[in-house]
């Protein structure tokens, strides 16, 4: 009796002991092999952590999913210089909200800062344009592998459900050389809120007054027709699965996965494909306000692809005032200098470049000028 009783109580404590032992050994193992960025919190109680050794720092960021591959690649490239960059692609809105509470050092945001965003910041904040990504109109029509041309009003009618089949006269008149089947058009749009939807609907509102008044633009709109899919990958998969489907997909995704997309008419009247160079052209010559809050939708440049989204890196003018340690601020400066300089070489159409359009040199210069204005507790970084 005693023995059995002992066994029973032993089991519970055995489970607990086992769990504790595993946890302890994991902790020891992990601590022993953790990377150089061992985090110690700075005295002013901040989220941004740093190491006291030479010039190394950990930068925490969050925000846009479009820019995630860029920041993650730059993080990998800068590791040898002692910088650890943790970027959480949770969405532009949360990135801004995190920055407003100084929970991250920098935020990635596709749309420029709204007045309400700036008002919620703890101090003056800077936005730096970092890269550009086109929004392709990808479709699935077995007979039409290339050469499809669409213009703004037709796109608006397709995505609002007014044009229902591929051989509609409106599409035919833009594509006299193509034989278009009578397949029904299935519109695929994003079901989750996203900056990509924002860019696409901004373009549609620009080119179609009916769209602007009935549906409008935003990170999420009331689509009158079509099916919703979550994230780029969802839209891409839905387009691939359904014959006759058309959807809007980020350029990086479309290029990496071999999608078929249409050439879209830009503001100068030319039908342009979403190549990297045509995407860069959209940033060239666009009006740049003082706070660098540009918009590259429907750019005036005659070579530009008309549906291009920009992505910003947003941070405080004086990070130290919001709790960052001086080494984190120095790390941030190193990161930003890289971002507007050598980092831009990692973007482009080359086989080992990330499929995003880099900054035109004039814009990079403006970014650097704004960077020079950043301070740490009043003194220059």
Partner 1 sequence: MEASSATVSGDRSALQRSPLHRLPDRVLRWGLTALAVLILALLVYFFIRLIGQSHLALSKFGFSFVFGNDWDVSRNIYHGAALVVGTLITSAIALLIGVPVAVATALFLIELCPRRARTPLSILVDLLAAVPSVVYGLWGVFVLGPKLIPVERWFANTFSFIPFLGGGGSSITPGNYFIAGLILAIMILPIVSAISREVLATVPPEHKEAALALGATRWEMIRMAILPYARPGITGGAMLGLGRAIGETIAVVLVIGDAPTIGHHIFDQGYSLAAVIANEFGEAANTPIHSSALFAAGLVLFVLTLIVNIIARWFVARGTRGMRAAGDITDAVDAATVGSGALQ
Partner 2 sequence: MNGVTLHGISARRRRTDKVMRASLFAATLIALVPLVLIIYYLLYKGLKAWSGSFFTTDPNGNFFGNPGGVRSAIFGTLEIVGLATLIAVPIGICVALYLTEYGKDGPFASVVRYFVDVMTGVPSIVFGLFIYIVLVISHAGGTGFAAWKGSLALSLLMLPIVIRSAEVVLLLVPDSLREAALALGAPRWRVVTRVVLPTATPGLVTGSLLAISRGMGETAPLLFTVSLAFGLTGNLNAQMNSLPLQIFTDITNPRSVIVTRAWGAALTLVALVLILNLVARAVSRRSRMA
Question: Using CB under 8 A as the criterion, which residues of the chain lie in contact with partner 2 when the complex forms?
Answer: 5, 7-12, 14-15, 18-20, 22-23, 26-31, 33-35, 37-39, 41, 45-49, 60, 62, 65, 68-69, 72-76, 79, 84-90, 94, 98, 101-104, 231-233, 250, 252-253, 255-257, 323, 352, 354-355
Strand, helix or coil for residue 66: coil
Residue given tokens 């769990």 in the structure block? 19
With CB cut-offs between 5 and 8 Å by kind, which of partner 1, partner 2, none does residue 220 bind? partner 1
Q: Which is nearer to partner 1, 229 or 357 (CB)?
A: 229
What's the min distance (Å) between Cβ of 159 and partner 2?
Answer: 22
116 scored as a contact of partner 1 (CB under 8 A)? yes
Element (H, E) at 347: none
With CB cut-offs between 5 and 8 Å by kind, which of partner 2, partner 1, none does residue 38 bind? partner 2
What's the min distance (Å) between Cβ of 4 and partner 1?
Answer: 8
Q: Do the beta carbons of residue 85 and residue 40 sit within 8 Å?
A: no
Q: Do the beta carbons of residue 261 and residue 141 sit within 8 Å?
A: no
- 155/262 Cα distance (integer angstroms): 11
Question: What is the residue-wise DSSP string for 221-241?
Answer: ---SSSEEESHHHHHHHHHHH
What's the min distance (Å) between Cβ of 124 and partner 1?
Answer: 17
Q: Which is nearer to partner 2, 72 or 375 (CB)?
A: 72
Query: Which residues does residue 249 pair with via DSSP β-bridges, in sequence order?
Result: 136
Q: Cα–Cα–Cα angle for 257, 232, 284, nearest 5°? A: 80
What's the min distance (Å) between Cβ of 44 and partner 2?
Answer: 9
Of 233-292, binders to partner 1 (CB under 8 A) are 234, 237-238, 241
Q: Do the beta carbons of residue 232 and residue 136 sit within 8 Å?
A: no
Q: Which is nearer to partner 1, 3 or 30 (CB)?
A: 3
Q: Which is nearer to partner 1, 227 or 368 (CB)?
A: 227
Closest CA to 135 of 223, 216, 204, 89: 204
Strand, helix or coil for residue 381: coil
With CB cut-offs between 5 and 8 Å by kind, which of partner 2, partner 1, none does residue 92 bind? partner 1
């Amino acid at each position: 009796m005693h023995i059995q009783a002992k066994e029973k109580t032993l089991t519970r404590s055995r489970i607990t002991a086992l769990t504790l032992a595993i946890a302890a050994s994991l902790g020891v193992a992990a601590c022993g092999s953790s990377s150089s960025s061992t985090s110690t919190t700075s005295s002013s109680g901040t989220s941004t952590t740093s190491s006291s050794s030479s010039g190394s720092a950990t930068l925490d960021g969050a925000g846009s999913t479009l820019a995630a591959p860029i920041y993650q690649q730059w993080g990998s490239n800068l590791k040898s210089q002692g910088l650890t960059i943790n970027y959480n692609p949770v969405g532009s809105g949360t990135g801004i909200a995190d920055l407003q509470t100084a929970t991250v050092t920098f935020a990635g945001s596709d749309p420029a800062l709204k007045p309400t965003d700036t008002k919620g910041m703890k101090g003056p904040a800077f936005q730096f344009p970092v890269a550009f990504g086109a929004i392709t109109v990808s479709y699935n029509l077995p007979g039409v592998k290339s050469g499809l041309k669409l213009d703004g009003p037709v796109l608006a009618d397709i995505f609002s459900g007014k044009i229902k089949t591929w051989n509609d006269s409106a599409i035919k008149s833009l594509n006299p050389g193509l034989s278009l089947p009578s397949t029904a058009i299935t519109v695929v749009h994003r079901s989750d809120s996203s900056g990509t939807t924002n860019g696409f609907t901004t373009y549609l509102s620009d080119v179609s007054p009916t769209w602007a008044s009935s549906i409008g633009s935003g990170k999420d709109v009331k689509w009158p027709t079509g099916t919703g899919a979550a994230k780029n990958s969802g839209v891409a998969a839905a387009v691939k699965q359904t014959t006759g489907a058309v959807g809007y997909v980020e350029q990086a995704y479309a290029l990496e996965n071999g999608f078929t997309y249409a050439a879209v008419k830009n503001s100068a009247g030319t039908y342009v494909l979403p190549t990297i160079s045509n995407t860069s052209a959209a940033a060239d010559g666009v009006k740049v306000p003082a706070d660098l809050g540009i918009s590259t939708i429907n750019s005036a440049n005659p070579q530009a692809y008309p549906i291009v989204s920009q992505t910003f890196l947003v941070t405080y003018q004086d990070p130290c005032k919001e709790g960052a340690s001086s080494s984190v601020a120095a790390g941030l400066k190193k990161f930003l200098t890289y971002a507007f300089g050598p980092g831009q070489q990692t973007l482009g159409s080359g086989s080992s470049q990330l499929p995003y359009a880099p900054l035109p040199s004039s814009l990079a210069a403006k970014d650097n000028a704004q960077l020079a204005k950043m301070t740490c507790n009043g003194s220059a970084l």
